Amino acid sequence: MPLLEHLKELKTRVFRAAVFVLLGSLAGWFLWQGWTDSYWKVPAFRGGVFGLLQSPILEEAARRDMVVSINFGEVGSAFDFAVKGALWIGVIVSSPFWLWQFWRFITPGLTKKERGYAVGFISAAVPLFFVGAFMAYLVLPNAVRFLIDFTPADASNVISASVYIQFCMQIILAFGLGFLVPVVIVALNLAGVVSGKAVLKQWRLSVFISFLFAAIATPTTDITTMFMLVAPLLFLFFAATVIALINDKRRARKSDEPDYAQLSDDEASTI
């Protein structure tokens, strides 16, 4: 395909992905502040996504019997964050569709077998991202409790909306991306970039990075909360390593070519 055709194809895929994100954002507008409260049958979801993110703040205010609230600060701040929240929700809920458009742009340059791998990556990456995001929501109340406990007894804690919402979004994004690391490892192995043995040799470093990542993403002294993230990360890492090792053995059995990489630079090959 000529370069101009590639650019046209990219433009088409980006446009379609943007349409999916826009449609998701329209749904996110109603989900952000629970504009459809009368239709929700689940009491926990009353108030929308913002209500879910705000609930740890309200729980801490009731627990400590002190003023703990979110402050928007300006007249248009609430509307501004409603738009940002809608876009954020739109990107998340439409992720299967825009990821698919991304792979559809790449697949013309792949073999039929590699296209099958691409579908597998999307099928694994999207659920893992959502699982990571859900884990972040479970961890969020403990993180908020830990940070608010530093507030003196006779003081109030009026939190800036921009700071708090950004804090929540960063935690959710960090957890979601953390759960995608094993998919990346398997993808690199299938592409022949890294071997399973090379990944396994770095298991100590991977364990250290997993604990470091969990400690940063969960700002709390509660070790149980940190292990809620570390345990699935380590499980997924070692599962990805096992898959990479199995793929290496399968590749070695199917390969009939001699390993010329082991020959000396001065030794002639059999070609």
Q: How many CB atoms lie within 10 A of CB 171?
A: 22
In the chain, the DSSP E strands lie at 68-71, 157-160
Residue 54 binned pLDDT confidence (cut-offs 50, 70, 90) = confident
Contact 200, 248 (CB under 8 A): no
pLDDT at 23: 92
Reply yes or no on whether the pLDDT at 29 is more than 80. Answer: yes
Residue 258 binned pLDDT confidence (cut-offs 50, 70, 90) = low
Q: How many CB atoms lie within 10 A of CB 197?
A: 11
Separation between Cα atoms, residue 230 and residue 152, nearest integer Å: 31
Average pLDDT, the chain: 77
Per residue in 143-200, pLDDT (tens digit) is: 787 778 778 877 788 888 878 888 888 778 778 878 888 887 887 777 677 788 888 8
Residues sharing a CB contact under 8 Å with residue 112, sequence separation 6 or more, in sequence order: none
84-93, 107-116, 150-159 — most confident range: 84-93
User: What's the rounded mean pLDDT across residues 28-32?
Assistant: 85
Per residue in 192-249, pLDDT (tens digit) is: 777 888 888 888 888 888 787 777 666 555 676 677 778 888 888 888 888 888 888 8
Reply yes or no on whether the pLDDT at 10 is more than 70. Answer: yes
Q: At CB < 8 A and 24+ separation, what contacts does 16-23 make?
A: 16/101, 17/97, 17/98, 17/101, 17/102, 20/94, 20/97, 20/98, 20/101, 21/87, 21/90, 21/91, 21/94, 21/98, 22/90, 23/90, 23/94
Q: Which residue has the tokens 């992720």?
A: 95
pLDDT at 44: 47
Record the pTM: 0.68
Boundaries of every domain in the chain: 180-254
